[in-house]
Structure 1
Amino acid sequence: MRRNFEQKLDYSQIKDVDFRVSFINTEEFNGYVHLAAIHKVSEAVFRSVDDKRIKIMDNEFKWLQITPLNANYNLITILDDKDEILQWEFQIIDNNEVDGKISLMFEDLILSLLVLPDGFKKIIGEKEINKALYNNDINLCQYDKAYREIKILEQIVDIHKLITLSRCMLKRILGDCNSKKQLRCEA
């Protein structure tokens, strides 16, 4: 199983990036919102899914990661240089825990649900999760949990609600941070 830290991007193409982090605890949402503002990359990064080629990283792109503390997923919204939403990806996680600071660690259950603004949905990571189960990197309970969560998300995802949520959280985290270079911000 992969243990990931929310506010890290592992792409060698990134040359200049700022991170902003906010903890939000309201009636509607309890969790973390991370924003990676990618200012400069050495080359654009693309993802191919079926017959689609999606640009996921380029100069002035934003990656907004929303992790509710009471859910088994985190949601990554990728926005282009004009803040247009290019895609959402729900990453299924086993659990998440606060590291004592303002970052979050989670156990990645490999499956993700990719959602595009045109309504296209695709489960990704199925070969990888089967390999992880075979290699005992995850157990059967985690495997079942990942598929159960992904099937629920696949049924309930609503594009209009995703747009509203993403725009609201982006506005919130940009409003919470005073300095462009600030790495931490409190809500």
Structure 2
Amino acid sequence: MHLKRKYGDRSDWNRVLEREYAQSYLETDLFKGYVSLLKIAKVKEPLYVKYFDQNICLVNDGYIWLQQFPLGKQHSVTTMFDERGQIVQWYIDICSMNGVSEDNVPWMDDLYLDIVVLPSGEVIQKDSEELDEALLHGTIDQFLYNLARQEVNLINSLIKDGSFTLLQLSEEHKDMLLQKIQK
């Protein structure tokens, strides 16, 4: 089985022409794991997605992507900030595991399912059919399929009752990593 591994530095992302990057390992009462920050200075072209009837820009000059990789968890959260520092969305990837590469870059192995949380509070479920296809084609086994479904249910219930702390920590983690870049 081969899952898509996504790295915090997004070094393979050709859309981004100029960038700054910082990361840290954190161990606090609320979070244990890696956080990475991609400060996007210049892009080839902006990236838009359509949710319902609105087009939302996810990447453009001046945008910041913060990624949180909690150790021992089956998810990773990317918070996308616009050029004014306003949150555009939280993108929660369900993954089989988070880790760190030999050259110390955090990564996660993507399990297809995603949850988008908009600042308005709207929650969007994504890619359920991709998870089903991965099981059907043998890309993942029943264990990983069940793991993904259980994790998405857990996170949805945490979001619903306001206790998914990574959403609340995103501003704090962004500010901390921005200080590393600006030094």
Q: Report the 3-state secondary structure (helix = DSSP H, G, I; strand = E; otherwise coil) of the residue aligned with 1:111.
A: strand
Is 1:7–1:103's contact at 8 Å kept on the other side of the alignment?
A: yes
Distance 1:166 1:34 in 2: 11
Bigger mean CA offset, 40-49 vs 98-107: 98-107
Correspondence for 1:141 among 140, 143, 148: 143
Is 1:78–1:85's contact at 8 Å kept on the other side of the alignment?
A: yes
TM-superposition CA deviations, 1:118-166 (whole Å, max 9, x none): 0111111112111111111111111111111111111111399555311
Is 1:22–1:176's contact at 8 Å kept on the other side of the alignment?
A: no
Is 1:2–1:107's contact at 8 Å kept on the other side of the alignment?
A: yes
Distance 2:132 2:76 in 1: 21
Q: Report the 3-state secondary structure (helix = DSSP H, G, I; strand = E; otherwise coil) of the residue aligned with 1:33.
A: strand
Taking CA–CA contacts closer than 8 Å with sequence separation of 6 or more, which of the two structures ends up with the larger relative contact order? 1
Q: Report the 3-state secondary structure (helix = DSSP H, G, I; strand = E; otherwise coil) of the residue aligned with 1:34.
A: strand
Q: Report the 3-state secondary structure (helix = DSSP H, G, I; strand = E; otherwise coil) of the residue aligned with 2:14.
A: coil
Is 2:69–2:107's contact at 8 Å kept on the other side of the alignment?
A: no
Where structure 2 has 5 or more consecutive residues not aligned to the other structure, the ranges are: none
Is 1:23–1:33's contact at 8 Å kept on the other side of the alignment?
A: yes
The alignment status of 1:49 with 2:39, answered yes or no, reads no
The alignment status of 1:4 with 2:6, answered yes or no, reads yes
Shift of 1:175: 2.5
**TM-score where L is the length of structure 1:** 0.87
Correspondence for 1:164 among 159, 168, 175: 168
Shift of 1:61: 0.3
Is 1:21–1:102's contact at 8 Å kept on the other side of the alignment?
A: no
TM-superposition CA deviations, 1:96-128 (whole Å, max 9, x none): 222233212321101110000101111111121
Distance 1:96 1:163 in 2: 18
Pair 1:15–1:83, CA change in 2 (3 A): same
- Report the count of equivalent residues: 179
Is 1:117–1:159's contact at 8 Å kept on the other side of the alignment?
A: no
**TM-score where L is the length of structure 2:** 0.89
Q: Report the 3-state secondary structure (helix = DSSP H, G, I; strand = E; otherwise coil) of the residue aligned with 2:129.
A: helix
Shift of 1:70: 2.4
1:52-131 matches, within 5 Å, as 52-131=54-133
Bigger mean CA offset, 20-29 vs 96-105: 96-105
Q: Report the 3-state secondary structure (helix = DSSP H, G, I; strand = E; otherwise coil) of the residue aligned with 2:120.
A: coil
Distance 2:146 2:124 in 1: 18
Distance 2:155 2:14 in 1: 31
The alignment status of 1:14 with 2:16, answered yes or no, reads yes
